[in-house]
């Protein structure tokens, strides 16, 4: 995996009366957030009514630099590099990594939880109907029998979002059981069709306004909260192949990092003067920016 750079940019949008201001650099030598770049950021925030922003950058020499703009409360408390934001669909990258760690634990015997009857191993090729016996079913027999976790997380089940088909009162099991009654937009593995319902099965740090019950539905698809400082730790971990650069401990299996950042479906089939054709991995986008290969974990914008 070749990653030239990762920007952890987090946004908070609300009508809090933002005043123009310079970034509050937290560390680094000011090589990124100079007056010109800061002015461009401020112009973009003003044009898009963005109230606050926190940005972290990993420098080529291993250092870090942070910039923060705007307010986080109506009383004027300012944004800082450790201000927490809801990450939206960046949460998907955490879910796919967590599944890879869980699979490694099963493979090494660290996790001895009983698997469903007849399932001898838990990996990316394990079929959903075997993991969820009597529950996983779609209107199509082929996808019912052949779909695995890679299909699910790369959005190629053929099912569209169907966002009005579930409510906060539903459980993840309710969503799975209802999928057999939902109409597909495409054939299985034909095209990428973005669907948050296929990202429901885990919890992480979630916003306070999401109830414990609803957390089961939203956490995997978009429930993580974090800060620019924490996201740089995450970026460093991914760029280092899943190894913590400070302790040299393998946190995420290297095979998982490679798998989730590799394209499995076509995200955008048209390039431009900046970006090449984009592929979708498992919560990550793989593309080239001005000839440099990059992996990007970004929220989906429809």
Q: Summarize pLDDT for 190-229 with one digit per residue, the tens.
A: 988 888 777 664 444 444 444 555 555 555 555 678 899 9
Long-range contacts of 242-246 (CB under 8 A, 24+ apart): 242/97
Distance CA 258, CA 238 (A): 9
Q: Residue 159: inside a domain, yes or no?
A: yes
d(Cα 218, Cα 88) in Å, to the nearest integer? 9
Question: 124: pLDDT confidence band, cut at 50, 70 and 90?
Answer: very high
Decide if pLDDT at 93 tops 60: yes
226-42-9 Cα angle (round to 5): 20
pLDDT reported for residue 165: 82
* CA–CA distance, 231 with 9 (Å, rounded to integer): 9
Whether 8 maps to a domain, the answer reads no
Domain membership flag for residue 214: yes
Of the candidates 26, 22, 51, 48, the residue with the CA atom closest to the CA atom of residue 37: 22
* Strands, E assignment, the chain: 7-12, 52-58, 64-70, 85-86, 225-226, 265-268, 278-280, 285-289, 292-296
User: Does some domain include residue 66?
Assistant: no
173: in domain? yes
In a domain, 33, yes or no: no
Q: Please give the structure tokens belonging to residue 287.
A: 């593309």
Phi-psi region of 23 (alpha: psi -120 to 50; beta: other; left: phi over 0): beta
Asked if residue 277 lies in contact with residue 286, where contact means CB atoms within 8 angstroms, the answer is: no
Q: For residue 173, what are the domain limits?
A: 89-222
Q: How far apart are CA 225 and CA 110, in angstroms?
A: 28
Q: For residue 76, which phi and psi values (nearest 5 degrees)?
A: 95, 10
Domain count, the chain: 1
Percent of the chain with pLDDT over 90: 40
| pTM confidence score | 0.79
Examine residue 16 and state whether it is found in any structural domain, yes or no: no
* CA proximity to 269, closest of 287, 284, 281, 282: 287
pLDDT in tens, 40-72: 888 988 999 988 888 888 888 888 899 898 888
Cα separation, 284 vs 93, whole angstroms:
6
Residue 302 lies in a domain: no
Strands of the 285-289 sheet, one edge to the other: 265-268, 278-280, 285-289, 292-296
């Amino acid at each position: 995996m070749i990653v030239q750079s990762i920007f952890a940019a987090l946004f908070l949008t609300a009508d809090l009366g933002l005043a123009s201001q310079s970034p509050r650099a937290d560390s680094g030598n000011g090589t990124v957030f100079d007056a010109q770049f800061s002015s461009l950021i401020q112009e973009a925030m003003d044009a898009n009514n963005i109230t606050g922003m926190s940005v972290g950058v990993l420098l080529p020499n291993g250092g870090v630099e942070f910039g923060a703009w705007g307010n986080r409360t109506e009383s004027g408390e300012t944004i800082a590099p450790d201000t927490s934001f809801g990450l939206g669909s960046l949460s998907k990258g955490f879910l796919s990594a967590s599944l890879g760690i869980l699979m490694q634990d099963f493979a090494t015997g660290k996790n001895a939880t009983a698997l469903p009857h007849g399932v001898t191993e838990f990996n990316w090729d394990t079929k959903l109907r075997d993991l969820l016996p009597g529950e996983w079913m779609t209107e199509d027999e082929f996808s019912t029998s052949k779909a695995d976790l890679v299909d699910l997380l790369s959005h190629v089940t053929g099912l569209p979002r169907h966002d009005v088909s579930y409510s906060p009162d539903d459980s993840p099991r309710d969503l799975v059981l209802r999928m057999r009654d939902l109409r597909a937009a495409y054939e299985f593995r034909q095209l990428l069709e973005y669907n948050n319902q296929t990202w429901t099965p885990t919890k992480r740090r979630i916003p306070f306004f999401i109830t414990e019950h609803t957390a089961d539905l939203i956490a995997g698809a978009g429930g993580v909260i974090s800060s620019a400082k924490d996201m740089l730790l995450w970026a460093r971990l991914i760029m280092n192949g899943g190894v913590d650069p400070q302790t040299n401990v393998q946190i995420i299996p290297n095979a998982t990092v490679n798998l989730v950042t590799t394209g499995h479906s076509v995200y955008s089939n048209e390039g431009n003067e900046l970006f090449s054709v984009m592929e979708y991995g498992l919560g990550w986008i793989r593309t080239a920016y001005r000839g440099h290969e990059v992996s990007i974990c970004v929220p989906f914008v429809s």
